[in-house]
Amino acid sequence: MAAFPSTSVLYMLSLVLASLALALAGDFNKDFAITWGDGRAKILNSGQLLTLSLDKASGSGFQSKDEYLFGKINMQIKLVPGNSAGTVTAYYFSSQGSTHDEIDFEFLGNLSGDPYILHTNMFSQGKGNREEQFYLWFDPTADFHTYSILWNPQRIIFSVDGTPIREFKNAESIGVPYPKTQAMRIYSSLWNAENWATRGGLVKTDWTKAPFTASYRNFSASACVWSSGVSSCGSSTPSSNSSNNGWLTEDLDATLQARLQWVQKNYRIYNYCTDAKHFPQGLPPECAKSS
């Protein structure tokens, strides 16, 4: 055996690095496809900005071209300003099929000056019912803010501007399925849900304010891109040796743990793990571990 890497190893390595680099640069034309809305979704400024809009006839949406199996993925979003009651801006990760995995951010609009609700959920192998809801500590319509998902084999962390708001730990050891084999695409849509979104459906959409618009910019992903059964990170259980892939073992340090506690104490308005009424058969097993 040669004492130095063969050309084929170097070639493989360059492929891995190339796919990581591709995933790092943010260009909406390259990374996303508009999927519906008949012209209501637009990619602007040479791929640097994407807008979704909603009027009485239709909403709109887009999805990522790539599928990911683990990653640290950031998107900056500026939500529908003014009277956004009845509107929902959904930004989520999902695999396909009846036993799909899914990680959701949904922003529920409100009357001018009243707070949005950030609604989150997590499905593993087709089972959801893991809602947590938050108010935000800023006006999410005044400027762009960064909404991130860290998804590695140990945990899923939802963050807002770098502050973790929710953590779902791998609890397979107590029988809770964990998303780790199904690649997910990123989806986003702006649609009307006036029957439930705002104050449980009491406040309807004011269509005289249409069209409603949400904006996206600065997408970035350090992720394992999944294509034809092959991960850009190498094996099916990627290791984190490369310094690029530190996120594969990333955990919350003491400072971030404290931030998470702060959000949960002051801004979390609903937690499925404390909603015994919703689970007459008993709370889901992961609740015993995390609460």
Ligand X SMILES: *[C@@H]1O[C@H](CO)[C@@H](O)[C@H](O)[C@H]1NC(C)=O
Judge whether 102 counts as a catalytic residue.
Answer: yes
The residues that bridge with 82 in the sheet, in sequence order, are none
Secondary structure of residue 72 in the 3-state scheme = strand
Distance (Å, whole) CA 126 – CA 143: 34
Distance (Å, whole) CA 106 – CA 222: 23
Helix (H) or strand (E) holding 286: helix 285-290
Nearest to ligand X of 136, 156 (CB atom):
136
Nearest to ligand X of 96, 218 (CB atom):
218
Q: Of 62-70, 152-160, 164-172, 193-201, which segment contacts ligand X by CB under 6 A?
A: 193-201
Report the nearest approach of ligand X to the CB of residue 79 (Å).
Answer: 11
Distance (Å, whole) CA 246 – CA 27: 24
199 lines the binding site for ligand X (CB under 6 A): yes
Q: Which of 67, 102, 132, 286 is catalytic?
A: 102
Distance (Å, whole) CA 276 – CA 290: 15
Q: Of 35-43, 107-115, 158-166, 172-180, which segment contacts ligand X by CB under 6 A?
A: 107-115
239 lines the binding site for ligand X (CB under 6 A): yes
204 lines the binding site for ligand X (CB under 6 A): no
Q: Of 4-12, 41-49, 113-121, 208-216, which segment contacts ligand X by CB under 6 A?
A: 113-121
Q: Which of 6, 218, 266, 291 binds ligand X (CB under 6 A)?
A: 218
108 lines the binding site for ligand X (CB under 6 A): yes
The answer to whether residues 250 and 150 touch, using CB atoms and an 8 Å cutoff, is yes
Distance (Å, whole) CA 11 – CA 113: 55
Distance (Å, whole) CA 218 – CA 41: 17
Q: How, if at all, do strands 117-123 and 163-169 pair? A: unpaired
Distance (Å, whole) CA 212 – CA 53: 5
The answer to whether residues 219 and 28 touch, using CB atoms and an 8 Å cutoff, is yes
Residues 31-70 touching ligand X, rule: CB under 6 A, are none
Go through the chain and tell me how many residues it has: 291
Q: Of 35-43, 108-116, 165-173, 178-186, which segment contacts ligand X by CB under 6 A?
A: 108-116
Residues 5-34 touching ligand X, rule: CB under 6 A, are none
- The residue of the chain with the least Cβ separation from ligand X equals 114
Judge whether 106 counts as a catalytic residue.
Answer: yes
User: What x/- string results for residues 65 through 104 when contact with ligand X is judged by CB under 6 A?
Assistant: ---------x------------------------------
Q: Which of 198, 205, 213, 215 binds ligand X (CB under 6 A)?
A: 198
Q: Which of 87, 110, 159, 189 binds ligand X (CB under 6 A)?
A: 110
In the block, tokens 């959409």 appear at 205
Report the nearest approach of ligand X to the CB of residue 96 (Å).
Answer: 28
Secondary structure of residue 29 in the 3-state scheme = helix
Report the nearest approach of ligand X to the CB of residue 145 (Å).
Answer: 9
Active site positions, annotated: 102, 106
